[in-house]
Amino acid sequence: MTRPSWAPDAVDLDHPSGARVYDYYLGGSHNFAVDRRMARQAIELWPDLPQIMQANRGFLRRAVRYLVGQGITQLLDIGSGIPTEGNVHQVAQAACPDARVVYVDIDPVAVAHSRAILAGNDNADIVQADMADVDSILRDPRAARLIDRSKPIGVLMVAMLHFVPDSAEPAKILRRYRQMMRPGSYLVVSHASYEGRPDQAGSHTELYERTPTPMTMRSQAEIESFFTGFDLVEPGLVFLPQWRPDSDAELDQPERFTGYAGVGRRE
């Protein structure tokens, strides 16, 4: 008998979770054997993965600092995953102690962990929701408490949209986000792409088919289309380490990092 629609989902700890695999790539121990097994297989296939993930985190850090520098002090981090070193609220609140951050994730373990980490932080909270369900995210009292929608906000979709298949109509979801963002708001996106390393992308995608969050690699043009209604700020949509780097040192073979990153400003 199939689970009736009224019964809540059970928590599945027997399959790898994207959030915990990601934590392992970053050298964290917030993961289970099943996650590590999958992560090691992925690294075997694609040894650069830990570096790519680090580059992605580097982009996240730089983008958050950029947004705060532009006066954005309320951030919505969609698909935030397992909290780790350099969380959005840490980066943002280091630059501006009043910055408010709402994390959103659907993974119940990631949410439970985040909630434990965030306990005592009045300016950060997490909402468990499907990123596609924009209305229920915004209606959630935890989000409503921290986000003032009459002011510009920053929406972060860092290493997130490649977990949204075409069938879920990501463009439509983004339009919904855009509608609720006031002009002057920012959209931050990093997205896995096969364009840097087409040889690696296929097997990697297959590996992710086993997780509850399969991956959809997209081309630069496809990723750029997600910024419809936004003006890409300099330097546009580029490889992860090329987005406003701290120094020239990180620019070695940027195509190795296969992911694209960009920040758009709501017109």
Footprint of another protein (CB under 8 A): 1-2, 6-11, 13, 20, 26-32, 50-51, 53-54, 57, 61-62, 82, 84-86, 90-91, 108-113, 116, 246-247, 249-250
In this complex, which beta carbon is closest to another protein, that of residue 130 or of residue 246? 246
The minimum distance between CB 14 and another protein, in angstroms, equals 11
Nearest to 15 by CA among 212, 216, 214, 215: 212
Is the CB of 86 or the CB of 214 nearer to another protein? Answer: 86
- 191 in helix, strand or coil? strand
Q: How far is the CB of 44 from another protein (least distance, A)?
A: 17
Distance of closest approach, residue 101 Cβ to another protein, in angstroms: 15
Choice between 33 and 221, CB closer to another protein: 33
Quote the least distance from Cβ 177 to another protein, whole Å.
26
CB of 191 to another protein, least distance (A): 19
Residue closer to another protein, measured from CB, 136 or 219: 136
- For another protein, which is the closer residue by CB, 227 or 257? 257
